[in-house]
Amino acid sequence: MRVNAVVAGVGMTPFGKHLDKSLKWLGGQPVLEAVKDAGIELTDIEAAYVGNCAAGIVTGQESIRGQVILSSIGLGKIPIINIENACGSSSTALNQACMMVSAGYYDIALVVGVEKLYHENKAVSYAAFAGAVDVEERDKFLAEVSAGQSEGSGTKRSMFADFYGVLAREHMAKYGSTIEHFAMISAKNSFHGSLNPNAQFRNEMSVEEVLAQPVIVDPLTRPMICPLADGGSAAVIVSERKARQLGISKPVRVVSSVLHSYFDHPPDGENVTSICIDEAYYEAGIEPEDIDLVELHDSSAVTELITYPHLRLCAEDETLKMLEDGDFRLGGRIPVNTSGGLLRKGHPVGATGVAQLVELTKQLQGRCGKRQVDGARIGVAHNGGGTIKDEVAAMNITVVKT
């Protein structure tokens, strides 16, 4: 279905370690900011879609997460739909809100992403990721990705860190990438994150400094794997008619929001990522060369590297040279993760998808200060989560335009 929706306002908390902040605060504050940004009142909202992944495990809040969070700021009565879809929870919430606005059911819908991952007991935090695979195949998954060295996986680190290590070693063997290439991505994103007041880590790191950090899973050092984070993000989505009524001077339109799930396929056939990307570009009426910037799911430095050609930002054999030439950096040919990405902005799982939309919206409206991409008109968000048979379980691609 083609999308016909406008981002009227956005908001987010700083991402980071917020042991003193509640799930209600993390979800409620960005809503108030987004409502103010949109120039509306809470009472104008007709429906809310709330993306969250791990509150049940980390905080014990189940079943009515959105209702609990939104009632704390005085928003209730309206339909509140809770959505859990791995790392793509709030991107999926965005998809559903845009569909309902496009279909004419609502003129004003709220999208919220929120997560509280930090816990005094790190094992609780990491347990939040343990169910994002087929649990009946989990032991097999761990055995395959850890190469017999699974100690600490799921207790001292996310079990997905082991998976990223496998991807890195395979990429090095197949394409000739080096540990320095992975460090270049982390260093690039640290520069972008240093310019983002909402980023969890704002210190810029050189390639050498990234390489000097402790190895978490061979060959990846700590800055090459995204950290835990607490945080919230929100967006007000309106119809074009309502956008005109509100007098939005530079509307950002969601022109494509595509969601697909894992499916069995031949090894060299289309997969969930490729069909999402193809469908999103087609629906938006764009080609890769039209894209001005990208927020992609850099759960690790190697996953960012792998995703460049997936999004058709470059050919497979051009990837390493474009990275070396700075083409994916601010000021380069196509800046990627100007927010700092998951690696530096942080990854509060349920909040990540809408946080990507926050960055793209502000970029397209020229509100990003020192990290502004000049003349940005078209942005793409790539957000996937969970794993089935070594592939992403849920993939979301969003295209926005001014």
DSSP one-letter string for 254-280:
EEEEEEEE-----TTS--HHHHHHHHH
Q: What is the pLDDT of residue 146?
A: 62
Residue 41 CA to residue 27 CA, distance in Å, equals 17
Q: Which residues contact 36 (CB under 8 A, 6 or more apart)?
A: 9, 11
CB 243 within 8 A of CB 251: yes
Q: Phi/psi of residue 214, each to 5°?
A: -60, 145
**What number is the average pLDDT over the span 187-193?**
98
Q: Which of 53, 87, 98, 276 is labelled catalytic?
A: 87
Asked whether the predicted pLDDT for residue 306 surpasses 60, the reply is: yes
Question: pLDDT of 210-234, one tens digit each?
Answer: 999 999 999 999 999 999 999 999 9
Asked whether the predicted pLDDT for residue 298 surpasses 60, the reply is: yes
Residue 3 CA to residue 1 CA, distance in Å, equals 6
Return the closest-CA partner of residue 50 out of 72, 65, 62.
Answer: 65
- The alpha helices in 72-121, defined as continuous H runs, are 89-102
CATH of segment(s) 5-120+228-401:
3.40.47.10
Cis peptide before 197 (omega within 30 of 0): no
Give catalytic status of residue 87 as yes or no.
Answer: yes
Question: pLDDT of 256-294, one tens digit each?
Answer: 999 999 999 998 889 999 999 999 999 999 999 999 999
Mean of the per-residue pLDDT values for the chain?
95
Q: Can you tell me whether residue 8 is helix, strand or coil?
A: strand
Question: pLDDT of 343-372, one tens digit each?
Answer: 999 999 999 999 999 999 999 999 999 999
Residue 257 CA to residue 399 CA, distance in Å, equals 7
The tokens of 139 are what? 């032991």
**Total H helices, total E strands in the chain:** 15, 11
State the pTM of this model: 0.96
Q: Which residues contact 174 (CB under 8 A, 6 or more apart)?
A: none
Q: What count of residues does the chain have?
A: 402
Residues 242, 247, 250, 254, Cα dihedral to 10°: 0
Measured at the alpha carbon of residue 32, what is the angle toward residues 369 and 108, in degrees to the nearest 5? 100
